Structure 1
Amino acid sequence: MHHALFHTAKDPTSPDPDQILGVACWLPPRAPQTPQTWHAWAGSWWLYLSQLRLNLSHGRGGLNVRRYYIWKARQAEAQAALWDDAEGYYFCNIVTVLPEAQGRGIGRALFRHVTERADAEGRRCYLESSRAEPNMAIYERMGFRLVKEMVCEEAGEAITLYCMMREPQGG
């Protein structure tokens, strides 16, 4: 995550102006054929091991690594099928807003920083939503459209993720 674009949202007029109300992590465009750097590879392992340590130390030792690899395999398949731009995409890796802060435009603001940049560069944006409702409607209002449903199955359980793409706007 060394080159990731992190954005946070705070309300300087609130009683707790340092409270983080939302966060977004975007991965910048990278040509699909570009090999992963050693630094990125080491960073992904560092992140995995840190998460494992936190899960174990906080009593969440049931980390289902198998499901993670199922998801990563489905994600690789979806991206191979959808990502046809040789220059890559801005990829919204995660966006979250505190429940009590939702509905105030914070998520839209966290997207705006990157979508405006993508528009200026003529690049597409991509995300994978874990929920159809209400997420897809929110993302559609920001110009994203559903391009694929990604089903992750294990032991008779299925979870659907929604792959969405945004074309450059304006200009």
Structure 2
Amino acid sequence: MSDSERQKMAAGEWYCCFDPELDALRVLARKAVHQHNTLDPENRGNIAPALRALFAEAPDDAFIEAPFHCAYGMNIALGHRVYLNAGCTILDTASVRIGEGSMLGPGVHIYCADHHRDPALRRSGLQIDRPVAIGTDVWIGGGAIILGGVMIGDGAIVGAGSVVTRDIAEGATVVGNPAREV
């Protein structure tokens, strides 16, 4: 018997993103995101309960401003004192780990999905996903985009508006599109 599309996704293989099981998981995430984005801040807490329940890890001292968006939630692991400013989007089709004390500015986007280059296969929903790992005490400026397969080292700084297409060394500062060390 062949693997399900969800199993292929989790294994980092090519899979069809139009799968009914994956659709149902995205619906759960949309509902949790809606709760987070619409609850009164006094009732929401640092992360709305439904959203926190989806995450792989979300300690009590992690904080996500609204609005926020994610694809599944189940692939997101936040460390202690992680801060995501308003407008962050995490398309977590693969693992996204954000280390302790890291801060993401407003409108930071993380994209794990990579769609097929062949138009017919892309139209059929074929994609593969690459994880993102952000170390401890990383600062990512507003509007930055982090692509799948990237690892950002501890203490690194990503300048606002940068597009990160490859790994960043510990303690490095990068800016631009594509992001380069300065």
- Normalised by the length of structure 2, the TM-score is 0.29
Q: TM-score, normalised by structure 1?
A: 0.31
Highest RCO, 1 vs 2 (Cα 8 Å, sep ≥ 6):
1
Which structure has the highest helix share of the two?
A: 1
